[in-house]
Structure 1
Amino acid sequence: MKAGTPRRCDVSCDVLVAGGGPAGCAAALALVRAGADVVLVAPAAPDRPRIGESLAPAAGPLLERLGVLGRIALDGHAPCYGGRAVWGGDGPSEVSSVLGPYGPGLHLDRARFDTALLEAAEAAGALRRTGRIRAVERLPDHWRVTTATTGTTGSTATAGTTGTAATTGAGGTLTARYVVDATGRPARLARRLGAAPGRSDRLTALTGILAAPGGGPAEPERTSLVESTPWGWWYTAPLPDGGRVLMAMTDADLVAGTLLHDRDVWWARAQATGHVRHRLAPWREPPRQLDVATAGPSCTRPAAGPGWAAVGDAATATDPLAARGIVMALATGMEGARAILADHAGDRGALAAYARRITALHEEHLHARAVQYQREQRWDTPFWRRRHRTTG
């Protein structure tokens, strides 16, 4: 890797980043600004809509270090003044971010947020290939990576400008000194390299997006809300366009018994809550469809090795109850990039140290999560018995 403005690379590069979400873009931005040639391989669109619409205030300093805070702040997102939780009792408790050191968080237009990060990475000098990793082979001093692509887009060599490279066809081969797995919870690249992602439980999110109501309130309450139930818990938050996200969280094997996979039952259960239902007052009908996704904590072990690192959910995924998924994505993307740069500079322990740090962060999360679940003792049901047995 060399100092100075990164050059465009069509066949070889210093670092290949697999995945174009916040973690992959954070890693790419950190790397290109340190002088690395970066190719970012990502699908044209995610497999399913990305969930994660509340940005904690702690993300502010990370976005500022990446040089994108100003753009994000002016990109049409709405302020988030904190959260409320009905947990361990019938009344809500409240956590306000207004007086915190970083001010309020944001309710995100998630597609716009991800696009802004991806465009920033391209403008800084990363070359984007649209597609997926098909195969990866370790050679003595580099990786040979085969991609299944439909085309490429990329930036010019000058930061702050963007351009478009020629379409390359249905696939290609790249060589890279390092690879970064930012493929999310599946950790597709890390698995190919022999790492083992492990899940702590079978927590599952059943999510619906409610479109902005025609006669709804002009300015919804700008806080998120969590409410526990005998079978799990609900989460809801407003969206910048006036819509709302609503999620039911339970274990995968409990979904059939609760009938939460049935959209009408899901909606009826939401309407029967003590507090969430008040946030749903402007809506008369459920969303058109529910998205079902794995949501439990997971950790890839190891999260790095010779010539590679996993970042974001591919490294460690947190329980949505922690509300720090995007913060962790940005932080691990930047930290993984630093480990790669240190390894290239001669610190042969940097990647192993990064992997240990990821494991420690995950264990810390599991402990804090166990404490939080222990606070809810009202129900002796399978969902809660499992978590009360868990010590982290």
Structure 2
Amino acid sequence: MNGGTPRGGDVRCDVLVAGGGPAGCAAALALVRAGADVVLVAPAATGRPPIGENLAPTAGPLLERLGVIGQLGLDGHAPCYGGRAAWGADGLAEVSSVFGPYGPGRHLDRARFDAALLEAAESAGALHRTGRIRTVERLPDHWRVTTGATGTVSARYVVDATGRPARLARRLGATPGRSDRLTAVAGHLAAPGGGTAEPELTSLVESTPWGWWYTAPLPDGGRVLMAVTDADLVAGTRLHDPVVWWARARATGHVRHRLAPWQGPPRQLSVAAAGASCTRPAAGPGWAAVGDAATATDPLAACGIVMALATGMEGARAILADHAGDGGALPAHARRITALHEEHLHARAVQYRREQRWDTPFWHRRHQGTG
């Protein structure tokens, strides 16, 4: 591949990547290391409080393949020694990663992790432009993309790494489809003053009649706490109200013990779609979707970043193969994304069927295969 050089406000490149999260950075890194000229367009950091996320141990080999594991400073994130769950029974079951082949995972400072990945992509040679995709037009041998005030980019290929909205894929005729209406109502509990004991470095999931709770420590001494239910059940459970949300958390059997250092809820909660979804098709002539823009997983699976890295690298591989003359590479990427989504739905159904204690709308839908 041979890109061009900036001319005024315009740039020519081999591949434009829309989105600067793990999927977009993984795609950009893989492409740049294969010799492609890459422009990565991503909005500026929002400065919003981190929601926290675990990095599964299986991310390690992917980061090694990208050649960035030494640059990311993973030792600066808190280790995650596994997870505990009250699921299908009142007691806690434990899954440890300490003795796994890849060692412990990490409780991420997600903003710092994403920034480090973006910096690695830039250091490798990707040209980073701050902004969003405004228009995209298909010309005979390339895409013409406008990115707001930052000018125009001409690219042979485009990669959609814009997350669940799949903004670019939608413009190209693809359809993101949700498999459920799962919603997360999350709060960031800032580190308590006065000093506290070292937190237990495991995540915790606890099911309830209306859904389930997730909590995990953050590297800064704070904690993420998230209630997960269906969108239409949020109002009835009043989980959007921080006071009610906090009271429900304090009434749990296990989560409440992780909240002992905190006296009250955060001032605001964030509400976000959290269900499984899949974009169909996830690729077409001259483009590919990766990460959540291709397929998003239920947070219960705890594999979002691993999936983002893997599909970002896979999308890059498909583009490189297409450029080399393999006309079936991009359709094969789309089929693999669909297969990954179907495999996830099957595994998710098995996990949700393990919880049989409640015949309530949330669980009835999952036992009947409608949620």
TM over 0.5: yes
Secondary structure of 2:70's counterpart equals helix
In structure 1, the residue matched to 2:239 is: 260
Residues 50 and 188 in structure 2, CA contact (< 8 A), matched pair in contact too? no
In structure 1, the residue matched to 2:226 is: 247
In structure 2, the residue matched to 1:147 is: 147
Residues 25 and 117 in structure 1, CA contact (< 8 A), matched pair in contact too? yes
Unaligned runs of 5+ in 2: none
Aligned with residue 340 of structure 1, among 319, 343, 361:
319
Letter in 2 for 1:299: C
* Aligned residues between the structures: 368
Quote the sequence identity (%). Answer: 86
Distance 2:226 2:308 in 1: 21
In structure 2, the residue matched to 1:185 is: 164
2:44 corresponds to 1:65: no
Residues 4 and 11 in structure 2, CA contact (< 8 A), matched pair in contact too? no
2:353 corresponds to 1:380: no
Unaligned runs of 5+ in 1: 149-169
TM-score by length of 1: 0.91
Residues 54 and 105 in structure 2, CA contact (< 8 A), matched pair in contact too? yes
In structure 2, the residue matched to 1:153 is: none
Shift of 1:71: 2.5
2:250 corresponds to 1:304: no
Distance 1:61 1:132 in 2: 31
Change (3 A) 1:259 1:391: closer
In structure 1, the residue matched to 2:18 is: 18
Distance 2:132 2:252 in 1: 42
- Write out aligned runs for 1:32-43 (5 A): 32-43=32-43
Residues 203 and 295 in structure 1, CA contact (< 8 A), matched pair in contact too? yes
Aligned with residue 330 of structure 1, among 309, 329, 332:
309
Shift of 1:146: 1.0
TM-score by length of 2: 0.96
Letter in 1 for 2:138: R
In structure 1, the residue matched to 2:123 is: 123
Change (3 A) 1:205 1:391: closer
Change (3 A) 1:343 1:246: same
Change (3 A) 1:341 1:52: farther
In structure 1, the residue matched to 2:261 is: 282
Give the 4+ runs in structure 1 shifted more than 2 A. 6-10, 46-52, 71-75, 215-218
**CA offsets per residue over residues 189-214 of structure 1, 9 Å max, x none?**
00000000000111000000000111
Shift of 1:115: 0.4
In structure 2, the residue matched to 1:231 is: 210
2:180 corresponds to 1:194: no
Change (3 A) 1:49 1:199: farther
Secondary structure of 1:132's counterpart equals coil
Secondary structure of 1:136's counterpart equals strand
2:371 corresponds to 1:366: no
